Every structure is written in structure tokens, then in C-alpha cells.
Amino acid sequence: MARPKRRRSRNKYGAKPEYVNGHRFASGREANRYRQLLLMETAGEIADLELQPKFPFEINGRPVLIKSAGYPNGRRASYTADFKYRDRKHGWRDTVEDAKGADTSASRLRRAIVAAQYGVEIVLI
């Protein structure tokens, strides 16, 4: 007997995933920004392009854990941005970007924690 087809859940904000060079991006906005960054890297404007850089949260050297039914001991809380690179225009300083269509209060809180813990300002695209 054939299994019933599962309906794919729709993205909360209506974004459709897109693939570029074998990388999966959550939205067309993010994929387009990746294409722009690749061109900028080729032109020498940026260097060390990194996808999905992760910033784990810690307090006093101890990881922040989120406990739930699936993780009774807790899973590590972190923020994953879309891109990180060194920007020639700003003296080869690290730049972290997030391609956002909707900026939620939870997202603003996570960015504030990253700024406080890592001294990194996340640029919204």
C-alpha cells in the first residue's frame, strides 16, 4: 500500500529555498546576496567569504542551554548569520550580514547578544 504524500510545510514568511553552486539558501534574497558577494570577492573588494557563521551564546564561560522535550539536557543556544567576510572598504574588518525580510523582536534580541558577547555588529540586508 502506498504511503500518503506528506504536505510540505510552507515557510513562516513565505520564502522559497534556492540553490546556488550547490549551497541551499532559505530565500531568493539570501541567494541573490550570495551572488553579489561572490562577484565582490572576485573583484577583490572582500575576502574570506564564509557561509552560515555560528555564534554560540555563553555567560561567564558556560554555554547557554535550551531545554526541551527532545533535548532534556539542553541544546546550545546560538545565532547563525548568513554571511561573514573581510571588507577592504573598512580596512579588512570582519563584516557579518543577515538577509532578512522580516525583522522580529527575537531576531533583534539575538543580534544584541552577539554584539555584546562578540563585539560584532550584524548588518541587515
pTM score, whole prediction: 0.81
Strands annotated E in 3-106: 18-20, 23-25, 46-51, 54-56, 58-59, 62-63, 65-68, 71-76, 78-80, 83-87, 93-98
Please tell me the total count of domains within the chain.
1
Does any domain span residue 109? Answer: yes
- Residue 76: its pLDDT value, please? 95
What value does the mean pLDDT of the chain take? 90
Does any domain span residue 110? Answer: yes
Does any domain span residue 52? Answer: yes
Does any domain span residue 57? Answer: yes
* pLDDT over 80 (residue 78): yes
Does any domain span residue 8? Answer: no
Res. 102 pLDDT band, cuts 50 70 90: confident
Does any domain span residue 36? Answer: no
Does any domain span residue 5? Answer: no
- Residue 20: its pLDDT value, please? 93
Q: Which domain holds residue 104?
A: 47-124
Q: Which of 97, 2, 109 is nearest to 49 (CA)?
A: 97
Q: Which of 59, 58, 57 is nearest to 110 (CA)?
A: 57
Does any domain span residue 113? Answer: yes
* pLDDT over 60 (residue 1): no
